[in-house]
Amino acid sequence: AQSVTQPDARVTVSEGASLQLRCKYSYSGTPYLFWYVQYPRQGLQLLLKYYSGDPVVQGVNGFEAEFIKSNSSFHLRKASVHWSDSAVYFCAVSAANTNKVVFGTGTRLQVLP
Amino acid sequence: EAAVTQSPRNKVAVTGGKVTLSCNQTNNHNNMYWYRQDTGHGLRLIHYSYGAGSTEKGDIPDGYKASRPSQENFSLILELATPSQTSVYFCASGKNTLYFGAGTRLSVL
């Protein structure tokens, strides 16, 4: 069975700083990997996804993530954060042969002006 | 634009009462899901469905039932609600990439 670990419950950065949110997954096969964002009182929205090919994937609003198979990681990055990026970010994994998507516990990002 | 609509948005229920949470999707997706979100646990899968008439148990199905009467509709049923079921519930549709509703905030008193 697949699982996801997001080790940082909260991250605080200043506006304009760079960002990395960590995600490690556990799955023996080829994973499908996702990052979702949740703004207050809303459902989750897809930021980016990785199925195969180039291990660096680009998402919306300048976010990107890199799939590193040797490290079982899929960290989310952004070069320069904006106050509007404050939200909760979820990493998720699914397997090609199942319909289950498993989520991490989320990282709450606070961007200080 | 994919659309998943949940109702009600907020619900207060009494312990031992029956609660039904509804979800409608206009995406024509075969797969639909019910998750609950709790601090420290992220999203946990309760039930899911591959299509009309099918329901499958997720990771935390105890105390919940699900019903998929049509492609568009997927309900989550709490026959005997308990305070431990106080949570935010999300419905989603899709395969691998999921489209979420806005959530239902349920309080069981």
pLDDT tens digits, residue range A81-109? 999 999 999 999 998 777 788 999 999 99
Q: Give the mean model confidence (pLDDT) for residues B17-23.
A: 98
Residue A71 DSSP SS3:
helix
CA distance B24 to B56: 18
Looking at the predicted structure, is the pLDDT value of residue B41 above 90?
no
Fold of A3-112: Immunoglobulin-like (2.60.40)
pLDDT (0 to 100) of residue B75: 98
Q: Would B43 be classed as within a structural domain?
A: yes
Domain ranges of chain A: 3-112
CA distance B50 to B63: 21
Give the full edge-to-edge strand order of the sheet including B4-7. B4-7, B19-25, B75-78, B65-67
Cβ within 8 Å, pair B103-A42: yes
- pLDDT band at residue B1 using 50, 70 and 90 as cut-offs: low
Residues of B in contact with A44 (CB under 8 A): 43, 90, 92, 98, 100
Q: Would B44 be classed as within a structural domain?
A: yes
Q: What is the CATH number of the domain that holds B51?
A: 2.60.40.10
Matching residue, tokens 């998929």: B68
Cβ within 8 Å, pair A45-B100: yes
Tally of domains in chain B:
1
Contact A92, A4 (CB under 8 A): yes
Taking alpha carbons only, the member of B96, B48, B32 closest to residue A48 is: B96
Instruction: Write the residue in B40, B90, B95 that is nearest to A99 by C-beta.
Output: B95
CA distance A31 to A92: 10
User: What domain range includes position B43?
Assistant: 4-104
Which residues, at least 6 apart from B29, have a Cβ–Cβ distance to it below 8 Å? B93, B94, B95, B99
Summary mean pLDDT of chain A:
93
Looking at the predicted structure, is the pLDDT value of residue B2 above 60?
no
Q: Are strands B65-67 and B75-78 parallel, antiparallel or unpaired?
A: antiparallel
Q: How large a percentage of chain B has pLDDT more than 70?
A: 98
Looking at the predicted structure, is the pLDDT value of residue B35 above 80?
yes
Q: Would B109 be classed as within a structural domain?
A: no
- pLDDT band at residue A50 using 50, 70 and 90 as cut-offs: very high
Q: Tokens for A12, please give them.
A: 């605080």
Cβ within 8 Å, pair B42-A46: no
Taking alpha carbons only, the member of B46, B78, B64, B49 closest to residue A103 is: B46
How would you label B72-99 residue by residue, b for 16+ Cβ within 10 Å and e otherwise? bebbbebeebeeebbbbbbbbbbebbbb
DSSP A66: E
Q: Which residue has the higher pLDDT, A98 or B20?
A: B20
Looking at the predicted structure, is the pLDDT value of residue A72 above 90?
yes
Q: Would B14 be classed as within a structural domain?
A: yes
